[in-house]
Amino acid sequence: MVELLRENDPHLAIVPYNDENSKIFERLKQYLCEVIPYEIEVEHIGSTSVPGLGGRNIIDVLILIEKGLMSRVVSLLESKGFRYNPSASNPYEKLFLSGQYKYESNKEKHVHIHVTYPGSIEHREKVLFRDYLERNPKEAKKYYEFKKKCMREANSNPSKYRKLKDSYIKAILERARKS
């Protein structure tokens, strides 16, 4: 049985790529499609979606849904144990949730869920970033090394870590747009 639990502290270390995350994502995708009673698309984004790219070992999920239904999906996911994070959200573009996904009786994975609508800036940029790194393994390797450096500098503080990565991510997106 698949269930969601309340959020615990996420992993605050950069770890090598683990292909098990793709299998966990597929289970999570199936679960989300079962519990959300609307037409949705579910995409695997973030580091765990790019073969060979290490990261924080958190599965990032992009849920695409009609714009007017975004808040309903958030309410539904909150009722399943996810926590809505308004400070990481933009009510017109993206709503963000996080939590622990229990994929086996004794195993769980921290997940981040980005709820947006098809064609939004959030949708386009997350997919562009993922696809560019998939096509450019050398760039993905550089990004992995940069992320390890950022985590050391941030002293495992997630907010500081994200801020340190921000300009690098923007530079990758700029290269991706030109390719």
What pLDDT digit, counting tens, does each position of 81-104 carry? 999 999 888 888 999 999 999 999
Residue entry with tokens 């609508």 = 117
- Is the pLDDT at 108 greater than 90? The verdict is yes
Q: What is the pLDDT of residues 24-39, one digit of tens each?
A: 999 999 999 999 999 9
139 CA to centre of own chain: 19
Residue 37 sits in which domain range? 3-178
Q: Side chain identity at 63, as an amino acid letter?
A: I
Task: Provide the number of structural domains found in the chain.
Answer: 1
Res. 174 pLDDT band, cuts 50 70 90: very high
Place of tokens 């921000």: 166
CATH number of the CATH domain containing 68: 3.30.460.10
CA distance 80 to 7: 11
Contact 173, 124 (CB under 8 A): no
Helix or strand (DSSP H, E) at 163: helix 158-178
DSSP category for residue 9: P
* Rg from Cα positions in the chain: 16
Neighbours of 15 (CB within 10 A): 12
CB-count burial class (<10 Å; 0-12, 13-18, 19+) for 23: exposed
Question: Does 12 score more than 90 pLDDT?
Answer: no
- Give the residue-averaged pLDDT of 152-178: 93
pLDDT digits (tens, 9 = 90+) for 32-85: 999 999 999 999 999 999 999 999 999 999 999 999 999 999 999 999 999 999
pLDDT tier at 11 (50, 70, 90 boundaries)? low
Contact 107, 150 (CB under 8 A): no
pTM: predicted TM-score of the whole model, two decimal places: 0.91
Partners of 64 in the β-ladder: 41, 116
